[in-house]
Structure 1
Amino acid sequence: MNHLSLIIKREYLTKVRNKSFVIMTFLSPFIFVGIFALVAYLSSLNSDTIRRISVLDNSGLFIEEFNSSPHSQYKILQNITLDEAKKQAEKEDINGLLYIPKTERLEDLSKGITFYSEDSPSLSMMGDINNLLESKANALKLREAGIDAETIKNLHINIDANQETFQGKETSKLGSGLKLAFGGAAGYLLFMFIIIYGNMIMRSVIEEKTSRIIEVIISSVKPRLLLLGKIFGTTLAGITQFLIWVVLIVVLMTVVTSVFGIDPAAGSPSQQIMENKVEGGAQQVLQDIMVEINNLPILNLILMFILFFVGGYLLYASLYAAVGAAVDSETDTQQFMMPILMPLILAVYVGFFTVIDNPHGTVSQVFSYIPFTSPVVMLMRIPFGVPLWQQLISVVLLFATFIGMVWFAAKIYRVGILMYGKKPTYKEIFKWLKY
């Protein structure tokens, strides 16, 4: 075990002292925050864009509906033909011309209303125009039938059923959204961590193998200890880099938002929705969010996130190390990467498309026990309330599989690490397991 600690220390120091590792550790947060700030700035510019639309309403039914706002300006055209209006619109700096013909029946309006523009208009702008016209047309149709639209509106009842568990704990749609967001972020973070640092382990093994340094090391250290040392050492280096990223990103985001005055949410749909709420509504939403966050089992989420994160990474890291030992170059790894990536991709798809619909369904439960998919799927299920015994069974299965996978990978590692000049097949690797 003394050799194991030495190997872990060597792997860790080799990684953190590498120039490219140091550069990317400190450069990546600046790139991330820079892109984020650029997107926020461009979104704020986009939200400040004023829509200028000319309206030729020959029906005379919708003129009063087109009221200008800070983001939309309407110019009502009168005593002018359609051709003249189109020529005038082409010369002016506007988004387009909305033409509403005069028809005998309201039903014919939908076939005659046309929006003329130089290029294809945005979906949001056309959606706003269509909603405005549809609302007014329906009100007019009700009036034709002798029905008061305002009376129907007042008679309409909105129902938002309260949600509560059998134990009396209140839940809500907002809470479900927050749980899904946490689970999705945790699963995706693990997925990316495995991809990035699993490849780092694989490249490390390939480099030592091709430089023949491994022949010297293997003479005094058992392959299994060397494999574990590489996995743990690279894992610690990855965690160090990740923690530095988190600290730097938080600091840089604070500086960017306070010094440059960039609002990360500017121009986003959520920001626009908040702006449209009545006074006090935004504060109520924030209060609801804080209440839902306090209702989350924070301690359980943190502990299980650490266990599944570590267990899932170690499991896949052993496979990456085995692949690195079996080949001579990164180009030869492609045929072995698909069987490793498929369970991860499957876990992400099952998590996002099954857990969202039914977090306690049969499919979600089965995949949350399978060690190759449980780190992602179970992390996405836990916020929705998974019994502790199910979580513990999944964790035990995960780490037991990791121990077995280390034995499996060490078999391949022991033989493959000294094999040169030949691209192995699955059949040959299977034979190595018998040695």
Structure 2
Amino acid sequence: MNHLPLIIKREYLTKVRNKSFIIMTFLSPIIFVGIFALVAYLSSLNNDTVRNISILDESGLFANEFTNSSTTHYKILSGTSLADAKKEAESTEIYGLLYIPKTENLESLSKEITFYSEDSPSLSLMGNINDILEREVNTLKLKEAGIDSETIKDLHINISANQETFKGMETSKLGAGLKLGFGGLAGYLLFMFIIIYGNMIMRSVIEEKTSRVIEVIISSVKPRVLLLGKIFGTTLAGVTQFLVWVILILILMAAVTSIFGIDPTSVSASGQAIEKTVDGGTQQLIQEVMMEINNLPIANLIIMFILFFVGGYLLYASMYASVGAAVDSETDTQQFMMPILMPLILAVYVGIFTVIDNPHGTVSQVFSYIPFTSPVVMLMRIPFGVPLWQQIISVVILFATFVGMVWFAAKIYRVGILMYGKKPTYKEIFKWLKY
């Protein structure tokens, strides 16, 4: 084991000094922020687009219902036919024509209103128009029945039930969304980290094996020590690259938003939705978000995120290293990748389809103890309140499995790194475990 620090250092320096590693370390954040800035810029352009809509209301019922917004301007037409209105809309920069015919009753009217446009209109725009029409038609229908619609509106009460645990902790839909967002982000980061840097370990083993460098190293170092050194060294290189990405992305995001004046929170919204967004509502939303963040077990989340992140990566990294030792080229790894990727994919699906619906259900609990799925599933469950003893048991099982997987991988590594010119099968690998 006295060679382990030297192997870790060698592996780490080899990775961080690699030209492609350096280029991608600095280029990836630039590409990411560039794409983000482009999307935000295009979104802001889309928000600045004003849609001009003509309204031909032959019924005379909706003349005062459509009000202009910052993105939608309405023009009421009168004294013209539908054919002339359509020709005018096609010959000028009119986004669309809303035709409301005159009918005998409201039931017929609701089926004959038509929106004409050159292309398919946006869903948000049509949703807003339909809401306006439906609200007014329902009001008129109530008046026909002799019911005062304003009285009904005054008597209507909106109910939003408060959410609180038996221990007195308040919860909400927003809080559940934040918890789900944290769990999903943590699981996604781990999934991507395993895929990216697990493949890096596998390629590193294959390169040393094909260059015969490994034959010199293995003469003075035990396979298990060499395997651990490659895993830990590549892990440190990956963590270094990840931290550089985070720092550069934060710096570049701040620079882009300040220099170009791009609002990163800008999203495409309809005119009616924009009208509803007021400063007071935004401030209240921010206060609710901060309150929900304060209610989260931040310390528990950070500690367990680190433990499951490290444990999950080390477990899968040892599997990637054993695959690299068993083959001669990267093309031969495909037959062995499915057993590695399937538990990861299963963990993501279990997290999405079971944790969201019932984070404390039987399926969620079982998969949060299985070491090949627990790093993703348990990270998604923890924000919803998992007892500490369950978290500890899951972490212990995870790291114990890692130790066992290292022993398992070392046996494959010991034989595989000296095997050349033959594609191994599962049957042969199983024999290697007996040596």
Q: Give the CA deviation at 1:110.
A: 2.7
Q: Could you give the per-residue CA deviations for residues 159-212 of structure 1, whole angstroms, max 9, x where no partner exists? A: 111111111111111111111111111111111000000010011011111111
1:323-350 deviation line (CA, Å, top 9, x unaligned): 1111111111111111111111111111
Aligned 8 A contact 2:50 2:73 in 1: yes
Cα distance in 1 for residues equivalent to 2:421 and 2:269: 56
Q: Distance in 2 between matches of 1:36 and 1:270?
A: 21
Is the Cα contact below 8 Å between 2:323 and 2:336 reproduced in 1? yes
Structure 1 Cα separation of the partners of residues 260 and 2 of structure 2 = 52
**What is the distance in 2 between the residues matched to 1:427 and 1:75?**
76
Q: Which letter does structure 2 place at the counterpart of 1:281?
A: G
CA distance in 2, matches of 1:236, 1:268: 40
Tell me, yes or no, if structure 1 residue 289 matches structure 2 residue 293. Answer: no
Report the AA paired with residue 427 of structure 2. K
Per the TM alignment, residue 3 of structure 1 is displaced from its structure 2 partner at its CA by 1.0
Secondary structure at the aligned position of 1:2 is classed as: coil
Structure 2: state its 5+ residue gaps.
none
Instruction: Show CA shifts across 1:242-292 (max 9, x none).
Output: 111111111111111122211101125699968624552221111111111
1:69–1:292 distance in 2 versus 1, CA, 3 Å? same
Which residue is 2:205 aligned to?
Answer: 205
Q: Which moved more, 1:103-112 or 1:186-195?
A: 103-112
Question: Quick check: 195-204 or 100-109, which moved more?
Answer: 100-109
Equivalent pair of 2:69/2:272 in contact (CA under 8 Å):
no
Q: Distance in 2 between matches of 1:405 and 1:275?
A: 58
Secondary structure (helix, strand or coil) at the match of 2:120 reads coil
Equivalent position of 1:351 in the other structure: 351
Alignment of 1:63-212 (within 5 A): 63-212=63-212
TM-score (norm 1): 0.97
Contact 2:197/2:235 (8 A) holds in 1:
yes
Instruction: Determine the structure 1 residue equivalent to 2:370.
Output: 370
- Structure 2 partner of 1:56: 56
Distance 2:165 2:359 in 1: 15
| CA separation of 1:396 and 1:360: change in aligned 2, threshold 3 A | same
- Structure 2 distance, partners of 1:6, 1:274, is 60
- Provide the C-alpha distance between the structure 1 equivalents of 2:96 and 2:245, rounded to a whole number of angstroms: 46
The answer (yes or no) to whether the contact 2:71–2:271 under 8 Å persists in 1 is no
Q: Could you tell me which residue of structure 1 aligns to residue 319 of structure 2? A: 319
AA of the residue aligned to 1:183: G
Q: Is 2:89–2:96's contact at 8 Å kept on the other side of the alignment?
A: yes
Equivalents in 2 of 1:125, 1:42: separation in Å? 18
What's the secondary structure of 1:205's corresponding residue? Answer: helix
Q: Deviations over 1:383-429 (max 9, x none)?
A: 11110000000000000000111111111111111111121111221
Corresponding position of 1:300: 300
Match of 1:21 in 2: 21
- SS of equivalent residue, structure 1 residue 280: helix
Cα 1:247/1:255, change in 2 over 3 Å? same
Residues 279, 30 of structure 1: alpha-carbon distance in 2 compared, 3 angstrom cutoff: closer
The superposition leaves residues 220-254 of structure 1 with CA deviations (integer Å, 9 ceiling, x where unpaired) of 11111111110000000000001111111111111
Is contact 1:40-1:267 (8 Å) kept? yes
Deviation at 1:104, TM superposition (A): 0.5
Most deviating of 260-269 and 43-52? 260-269
Deviates more, 1:389-398 or 1:241-250: 241-250
Q: Structure 1: which 5+ residue stretches go unaligned?
A: none
CA–CA separation in structure 1 for the residues paired with 2:167 and 2:270: 33
Give structure 1 regions of 4+ aligned residues with deviation exceeding 4 angstroms. 268-275
Segment drifting more, 391-400 vs 160-169: 160-169
Equivalent residue of 1:324, what SS? helix
Q: 1:270 to 1:66 in 2, by over 3 A?
A: closer
Q: Which SS does the other structure have where 1:64 is aligned?
A: coil
Contact 1:265-1:271 at 8 Å conserved across structures: no
Q: Percent identity?
A: 81
Secondary structure of 1:146's match?
Answer: coil
Query: Which secondary structure does the structure 2 equivalent of 1:157 belong to?
Result: coil
Measured in 2, the distance between the counterparts of 1:425 and 1:16 equals: 34
- Equivalent pairs counted in the alignment come to 435
Counterparts of residues 395-414 of structure 1 (less than 5 Å) = 395-414=395-414
CA RMSD of aligned residues (A): 1.5
1:387 corresponding residue in structure 2:
387
Amino acid at match of 2:218: I
Indicate the SS of the match to 1:103.
Answer: coil
Deviation at 1:85, TM superposition (A): 1.2
Alpha-carbon distance in 2 for matches of 1:315, 1:274:
48
Determine helix, strand or coil for the equivalent of 2:168. coil
Instruction: Tell me, yes or no, if the aligned pair for 1:274 and 1:282 is still in contact at 8 Å.
Output: no
Counterpart position of 1:262: 262
Contact 1:10 1:233 in 2 (8 A): yes
Q: Tell me the distance in 2 between the aligned counterparts of 1:171 and 1:299.
A: 19
Distance 1:375 1:47, change over 3 A: same
SS in 2 for 1:360: coil
Determine if contact 2:125/2:270 at 8 Å carries over to the other structure. no
CA 1:269–1:210 in 2, change beyond 3 Å: closer, same or farther? farther
The whole-number CA distance in structure 2 between the counterparts of 1:64 and 1:97 is 17
